Amino acid sequence: MSGPYARWWSLALLFAPLVLSLSAAQDKQAPARWEKAIAAFEKQDRESPPPKGAVLFVGSSSIRLWDLKKSFPDLPTINRGFGGSQIADSTHFAARLVNKHAPQVVVFYAGDNDIATKKTPERLLEDFRAFVKAVHAALPGTKILFIAVKPSPRRWEMFAQQQKANALIEAYCRRDERLHYLDVVTPMLGKDGMPRGELFAKDRLHLSAEGYQLWNGLLAPQLKKLYRPGSTKGTTPVLPRIVGHRGLIRHAPENTLAAFTACLELRIGFELDVRRTRDGHLVCLHDDGVKRTTDGKGKVAELTLAEVRRLDAGRWFGAAFAGQRVPTLDEVFDLLRQRGFDGLLVALDIKAEGIEEDVIRLAARHGVLNRVVCIGLAIGDPAVRRRLRAADPKAPVAILAQTAADLSAALADRDADWAYVRFVPTAAQVAEAHRAGKRVFLAGPTVAGREPANWGLAHAAGVDALLTDYPLDCRQRWRGPSTP
């Protein structure tokens, strides 16, 4: 190639990295333009705190301009719309706009501004998924209703892209009973297939009074189904969750049904270790051998289930526990199914490779997959994490962040939804994790022993779960008069 075209391509190649760099920087800094609006909401919250367990509306101008008190006079509503925003903006500020209010239902509208800035339908789906993760990381029981990206006369040329985005998001919502999709597109189109003019303001983009009246009629029946007056079940933050290391190791023999049952009675989560016997059964034992915690000898992987079950796993700890047996994972999951409680978290320390699929399928069969998180080999081995997710895409998996410097990389991992941190994070770092759709599991020497100061810092930072040898002491610290 020669002449002016060659020079043009040379210049294009020369400046392409700069253009991409500037674009990425602008995308990263975009949420900062809303800081003033978010600060104004926070001032309102301080002056007149909204109720917990309400119906919270969040998103762009269609939310901001909605007169919720007039439209839904019988419902406690919170309006957190900020005009011109895109889906990712609500995700960035989810902790400050949504999660702090612990809403029972979130009504979400955004997307047409995204498409107007040339984002693809696939990007809209990914951004909405990130919003859902950011909310459900802190409020796993909150219902989220997505209002379809609306057609408008002013942006009619974008209708095909809008509909593709709507189809992707609707299909995504169908896979989770906590997610709901509201079709406003069909009733907003006339017999000629074009947007009905009376539904729009003079700018031909925002809704008119008639437009909001239509939306009210479509949304009200859905809110009647989703909202339960006086109920906060599943929406009130249950964090931080305390997880007892191998049960209550200071009060009962580790990795036994006695220890796990005691934890459940005390409303405390627990951690357990999973290994496989020679004949393929999953059992709960920390060491690769049975000598330390039973009256037997040998490697777990070299013993059959029958041989392991004959061992006494309690007498070594105390005569009162004589006769305790090494439990199977099936027995533990059955216990969780029968006696689990809201907010329970059980950490599964994967001790052997090749058991990932069986562990996840067993949890799913008992209906307790949403109450566990996989640690152990999973936190450091990406292959283990991939196998866990291959067994079930909803499998909760953690990745290690040994230090604060490791956090960003951990949050970027697609096969984990928990960051397993071994340092006491700040509130800002926890918020960063939540924006990334991940929860924070604090473990390691800073909190494993009797560490009341660090427990207090963890509570103040808002970590999602904490693993310790002293779960009862930790809970008492958080309940005491000096709790942050």
76 phi-psi bin (left φ>0, alpha ψ -120 to 50, beta other): beta
Residue 358 is encoded by which pair of tokens? 């069986």
Residue 235 included in any domain = no
Active site residue 286: yes
pLDDT averaged over the chain? 90
CATH number at residue 318: 3.20.20.190
Contacts of 195 (CB under 8 A, 6+ apart): 151, 152, 153, 156, 188, 189
Residue 458 included in any domain = yes
Residue 69 included in any domain = yes
Active site residue 281: no
Same domain, 202 and 275: no
Read off the pTM: 0.62
Residue that is last in its domain, among 226, 260, 285: 226
Same domain, 161 and 207: yes
Place 4 in a pLDDT band, splitting at 50, 70 and 90: very low
N-term to C-term CA, the chain: 68
Q: Find the catalytic residue in 180, 245, 366, 434.
A: 245
Residue 43 has pLDDT above 50, yes or no: yes
> pLDDT tens digits for 126-157?
999 999 988 988 888 899 999 999 999 999 99
Same domain, 221 and 353: no
pLDDT at 351: 97
Residue that is last in its domain, among 177, 196, 226: 226
Residue 471 included in any domain = yes
pLDDT at 328: 98
Place 83 in a pLDDT band, splitting at 50, 70 and 90: confident
Residue that is last in its domain, among 183, 199, 226: 226
Range of the domain at 288: 241-479
Q: What share of the chain is helix, strand, coil (3-state, %, to 5)?
A: 50, 15, 35
Same domain, 82 and 122: yes
Contact 462, 448 (CB under 8 A): no
Q: Find the catalytic residue in 101, 180, 286, 366.
A: 286
> pLDDT tens digits for 300-317?
999 999 999 999 999 999
Same domain, 133 and 268: no
> pLDDT tens digits for 229-259?
876 554 555 458 999 999 999 999 999 999 9
Residue 170 included in any domain = yes
Distance (Å, whole) CA 351 – CA 376: 6
Same domain, 106 and 144: yes
Same domain, 197 and 249: no
> pLDDT tens digits for 403-453?
999 999 999 999 999 999 999 999 899 989 988 888 999 999 999 999 999
Domain total of the chain: 2
Looking at residue 256, its amino acid is T
Residue 25 included in any domain = no
> pLDDT tens digits for 175-199?
888 999 999 999 999 999 999 999 9
Averaged over 195-208, what is the pLDDT?
A: 95
Distance (Å, whole) CA 68 – CA 65: 9
Same domain, 186 and 313: no
Residues paired with 465 in a beta bridge:
241, 441
pLDDT at 13: 42
Same domain, 154 and 297: no
Residue 1 included in any domain = no
Same domain, 216 and 356: no
CATH number at residue 92: 3.40.50.1110
Residue 18 included in any domain = no
Residue 464 is encoded by which pair of tokens? 């999602």
- Helix (H), strand (E) counts: the chain: 21, 14
Of 417, 420, 424, the closest CA to residue 438 belongs to: 417
Residue 368 is encoded by which pair of tokens? 């307790």
Phi, psi of 343 (to 5 degrees): 90, -5
Residue 1 has pLDDT above 90, yes or no: no
pLDDT at 23: 39
Residue 483 has pLDDT above 50, yes or no: no
Same domain, 388 and 315: yes
Same domain, 396 and 357: yes
